[in-house]
Amino acid sequence: MKQPLAELMRMSRICRMVLATCLGSFVLVIFYFQSMFQPVMRRDPFVADGCCRKGSGNALQELYNPSQPEWSGAAVLHEARREQVAEACRLHSAASRKRRVLTPADLKHLVVDEEHELIYCYVPKVACTNWKRVMMVLTGRGKYSDPMEIPSNEAHVPSNLKTLNQYSIAEINHRLKTYFKFLFVREPFERLVSAYRNKFTLKYNASFHKRFGTRIVRRYRKNATREALAGGDDVAFREFVEYLVDPGTRRSDGPPNEHWQTASQLCHPCHIRYDLVGKYESLEDDANYVLRLIGVGGALRFPSYAKSTRTTDAMAAQFFSNISGQRQAELYRLYELDFVMFNYTTPSYLKLE
Ligand SMILES: *[C@@H]1O[C@H](CO)[C@@H](O)[C@H](O)[C@H]1NC(C)=O
Ligand SMILES: *[C@@H]1O[C@H](CO)[C@@H](O)[C@H](O)[C@H]1NC(C)=O
Ligand SMILES: *[C@@H]1O[C@H](CO)[C@@H](O)[C@H](O)[C@H]1NC(C)=O
Ligand SMILES: *[C@@H]1O[C@H](CO)[C@@H](O)[C@H](O)[C@H]1NC(C)=O
């Protein structure tokens, strides 16, 4: 009799814990309350089944309260990262008057895997192609086994993955409450320089040059040549920075392009409580930890990276060396929340006054 009872107690404790995290991560997504409370508010002893079945339950348990001692180090690390995000959000919301409620349109970057009850918020320039490939393997019902067999352009076809904004409000709230939610972030200025190099110094995407490059040259280059105005394909980093910090940019062009939008604006970590914050700087460890948590670590490894063209901190320092202290300070202010929230130190190469 003892054994099953202990087991039952343990399960109940786990379920209560998972339930607590479910409730904790509750996010208000516009005015529709009735159905979204039902999954967790019923006083039914079996209600926790909804939390502890194959999907996200085990992953959340192993993350928040690992049963295996060798996982406790990672659990502590990720708890500290979550705490850092929460603290930054508290300070940020205390400092700003604006109160904002999410709408489905804010959830376009949250990729959903229903089978593993997983939500991945993608941030461009943070291994997002490989993560989308992995999400396609996870949601593909056996169609793929190796992420690298999926061509990179295929990984970016929107219809190949389902995003959270495609669900009803009740379905969105249910998923936000019960799924395992994670994102991957990167040192903000390294990411920004990477976006600049990828979008403005490579020849391959003329449409990006046309759309942003011509605009930037027109606005920030004196005496631009006719070719430069027409092609927009030789934007200097200094001009790109002018474009980013110019208050007129947002007024005329709307929200920033996703490649240089901050992670906090793409993924809303102050509204959505992510269970795990992965970092580009420890990409393989963090990514494979996620795959082990959701129980696919044996069959699936995160693709390792070809590092040759990677943008590094030293490279970022070089690009910033040409930028005035005033512009650096303005740019830093735009990305400050990402720096603080994700625990990146202010780069030593900056000349902030
Ligand atoms: C923040 O980074 C420092 C090192 O830069 C590290 O010692 C500390 O543990 C980190 N804190 C969190 C919450 O990740
Ligand atoms: C080029 O950039 C545009 C955005 O300006 C994007 O829609 C398109 O998919 C990109 N093409 C390639 C091949 O990356
Ligand atoms: C632009 O061209 C005019 C005429 O050639 C010249 O006088 C002026 O100094 C140039 N301005 C810059 C910033 O190069
Ligand atoms: C810095 O600016 C100079 C001239 O203004 C230019 O020749 C050089 O290529 C720039 N360096 C970088 C890394 O942008």
Q: pLDDT digits over 187-220, tens only?
A: 999 999 999 999 998 876 788 898 899 999 999 9
Average pLDDT, the chain: 84
Phi and psi angles of residue 67, each rounded to the nearest 5 degrees, phi first: -85, -20
CA–CA distance, 198 with 202 (Å, rounded to integer): 6
Average pLDDT in the 31-48 region? 33
What does the pLDDT look like over 293-309, one tens digit per residue? 999 998 899 998 766 67
Whole-number Å distance, alpha carbon 347 to ligand 4 midpoint, is: 20
| DSSP codes joined into one string, 230-255 | HH-----HHHHHHHHH-HHHHHHH-S
pLDDT band at 61 (very low <50, low <70, confident <90, very high): very high
C-beta of 318 in contact with ligand 4 (< 6 A): yes
Q: Is the pLDDT of residue 20 over 80?
A: no
Q: Is the pLDDT of residue 23 over 90?
A: no
Average pLDDT in the 225-254 region? 93
Ligand nearest to the CA of 221: 3
The pLDDT of residue 306: 65
Kindly give the number of the ligand 1 atom that is closest to the alpha carbon of 81: 13
Q: Is the pLDDT of residue 247 over 70?
A: yes
CA–CA distance, 261 with 126 (Å, rounded to integer): 12
Give the side-chain half-sphere CA count within 13 A for 165: 13
For ligand 2, pick from 199, 208, 216 the residue to mutate: most ligand atoms within 8 Å of CB: 208
Protein residues whose CB sits closer than 6 Å to any atom of ligand 3: 222-223
Span of 9-13, 165-169, 315-319 with lowest mean pLDDT? 9-13
Average pLDDT in the 235-255 region? 94
If phi > 0 it is left, if psi is from -120 to 50 it is alpha, else beta; for residue 85 that is: alpha
